[in-house]
Structure 1
């Protein structure tokens, strides 16, 4: 299976708490809900959800999703249907159990377990949010595609997807679209390490 990452970012790369003020206040973050003023269904892509054969979630994203999606949506809601019915692999060393339907806890040998899942036949194993998990998998070359929604707001604080110290990686842009509110969806595929040159030559 391919592993894909989908996440929302501010212009300065913050991915923390886009959905609501109380979603994630860790580290004293005070900008929760920053995505709301720029919401635009034009950049939704239900077809991507249809490609999912399972989900990889970090602890915090799992807890947010598990508190909302089991009772959300209706019979025609593709997102609720996929999240509630498909396997969910939750990476955490602090959770003792995961009770949401079809959830499995991964608490050790994380990279090995995920590499084994990736080797299975299927379409996509999708990561949504889950910044710490996404950073680790990016560093180890396990993510095949990044779907990044970047919003026209600078927050100045909060957890970022690309923190200092990340593994240097070159990306190829394969799709780009903009919404009426100024959000830009860029889809990238990693292509190995960056190459370098010298304009003075």
Structure 2
């Protein structure tokens, strides 16, 4: 059985929409595309090379993110770029109700409802399944409690509106911080692993009679 890791770029106020450019995701007329670009430095790229070049065995994407990746990465043919080499070669699974054919090498459509399809995929595969972007798909994974680990890049910027990493329907889960690092540009990189169900308590003092 595989581990499912969500890798996400977020603003300080939790927005993950369109980090890479103005036209990346314009749903709801989102006007702040490209908010992450100023914070991508050598430290950031080193972390990404470790995540995709060494950690990920399979890539899981929503249809919109797949289309963005498929339009870019096959054009990056530098054999010294470990991220491009890995992404172009590795198996890619796409949750889509509309796509029949996928042209990017080693890409496969997941049929049926996304939650059931991904649950089956986790049972069938070994190693690490990694997601990137794919906010709608991530919310489905969260609602059905399918995420085993988060690797979150928190950027020092707020934009106030847009798609968030978590919504109100995410299943309650406790997480433990496994690793953290701050890049030279001030991006906080945090790795969280599952720690069971949340525990609850109270700071309320006993009422005195």
Give the TM-score range, shorter chain: over 0.9
Distance across 2 between alignment mates of 1:190 and 1:82:
27
Matching residue of 2:18: 17
Matching residue of 1:47: 50
Higher mean C-alpha displacement, 168-177 vs 107-116: 107-116
RMSD: 1.5
1:4 aligns with 2:5: yes
Task: After TM superposition, list the pairs within 5 Å mapping 1:69-84 onto structure 2.
Answer: 69-84=73-88
- Report how many aligned residue pairs link the two structures: 201
Offset at residue 48 of structure 1 (A) = 2.3
Matching residue of 1:191: 195
1:138 aligns with 2:142: yes
Offset at residue 121 of structure 1 (A) = 4.9
Q: Is the 8 A contact 2:5 2:148 kept in 1?
A: yes
1:26 aligns with 2:27: yes
Offset at residue 138 of structure 1 (A) = 2.1
Matching residue of 2:38: 37
Structure with higher Rg: it is 2
Offset at residue 166 of structure 1 (A) = 2.0
Structure 1 SS opposite 2:150: strand
Matching residue of 1:124: 128
Deviations 1:74-133 (A, max 9, x none): 111111111111111000113232221111111313323222221235321111111111
Offset at residue 47 of structure 1 (A) = 2.7
Q: Is the 8 A contact 2:143 2:169 kept in 1?
A: no
Matching residue of 2:184: 180
Distance across 1 between alignment mates of 2:24 and 2:173:
30
Offset at residue 20 of structure 1 (A) = 0.7
Q: Is the 8 A contact 2:114 2:137 kept in 1?
A: no
Higher mean C-alpha displacement, 146-155 vs 32-41: 32-41
> If the length of structure 2 is used for normalisation, what is the TM-score?
0.90
Distance across 1 between alignment mates of 2:15 and 2:150:
15
Higher mean C-alpha displacement, 93-102 vs 148-157: 93-102
Structure 1 unaligned spans of 5+: none
> If the length of structure 1 is used for normalisation, what is the TM-score?
0.93
Structure 2 SS opposite 1:119: helix
Matching residue of 1:153: 157
Deviations 1:5-28 (A, max 9, x none): 111000111000000111111110
